[in-house]
Amino acid sequence: MIHEQRTATVGIIYPDHAAEDDYPYAADLLGVALPVVHIYGTDLHAVPELLDLGNPERLASGAAELADEHLDALVWACTSGSFVYGPEGAREQVDRLARASGDVPTTSTSFAFTAALHALGASQVAVAASYPRDVAELFVDFLAAAGIGVVSLADAGIDTAAEVGTLSEDAVIEFVEGNDRPEAQAVVVPDTAMHTLRILPELEKRIGKPVLTANQVTVWHGLTLAGYRVDCPDLGSLFEEEADHGAR
């Protein structure tokens, strides 16, 4: 439930099409508004294509589509299209997007992950990434720059976001569960193209620790930036009140 009387509105800029139906699902559970607009480019998980996908002009066009939504916060809902820029470049990307939106509080999924891990006090994680290895390693570097250690990295080597979006719930559960490690305090699943929100309770039940997924942290960090606290265990440990939701 939302701990404010006014409905929160968090704008979502989402690349192409894959798992965007996670957002209306979350909006219904939380009683918030999560309007989604799409930007388009190639959906290859490859560095040049990801740099192009997250370029400022493309993101500004997404912000323009949300101009009439009276946003409380805005999120670039693409992990690889943000961390591929590195920490400084990703920060500049978010800052430029914020200016394009009229200085609405703005973040990206990559920063949502680091904020969520700090909120949960998780400094050692296992990463189960759908990406090819070279892209997945850039995510590890991004986490390391935020003081988060990766005890194991699994990469599925999937070349496109569209293919990730077709993975069955059973396939996602098997991949995530199979790549946990006892020493990890949480398991991180970084692709917004992967459907995960409906299976978060099952994932955490099986693994016995927090599981953070891209669409989950995107929603959580957007609401956090907007000043809203949420309590919805159906969206995992991150959405339980014990977490330090004020962390950035």
* Chain Cα centroid distance, residue 125: 16
What is the chain's alpha carbon radius of gyration, rounded to the nearest angstrom? Answer: 16
The whole-angstrom separation of Cα 4 and Cα 122 is 28
- The answer, as to whether pTM is greater than 0.85, is yes
pLDDT for residue 6: 64
Residue 172: C-alpha distances to residues 56, 100, 244 (Å): 32, 35, 28
Q: In the 8-state DSSP scheme, what is residue 21? A: T
Q: Are 27 and 54 in contact (CB under 8 A)?
A: no
**Residue 77: Cβ-neighbour burial (10 angstroms; 0-12, 13-18, 19+):** buried
The whole-angstrom separation of Cα 47 and Cα 8 is 34
Alpha helix locations (H) across 152-225? 161-165, 169-178, 200-207, 214-225
Domains (ranges, CATH) in the chain?
10-112+215-239 (3.40.50.12500), 122-212 (3.40.50.12500)
Listed as ranges, residues in the chain with pLDDT below 50 are: 1-5, 245-248
Both structure tokens of 158: 């999937």
Task: Count the Cβ atoms, other than its own, within 10 Å of residue 199.
Answer: 17
The whole-angstrom separation of Cα 220 and Cα 176 is 20
pLDDT for residue 248: 31
Per DSSP, the three-state class of 230 is: strand
pLDDT for residue 42: 81
128-141 pLDDT per residue, tens: 999 999 999 999 99
pLDDT for residue 44: 80
The mean predicted confidence, pLDDT, of the chain is 92
pLDDT for residue 1: 40
pLDDT for residue 245: 42
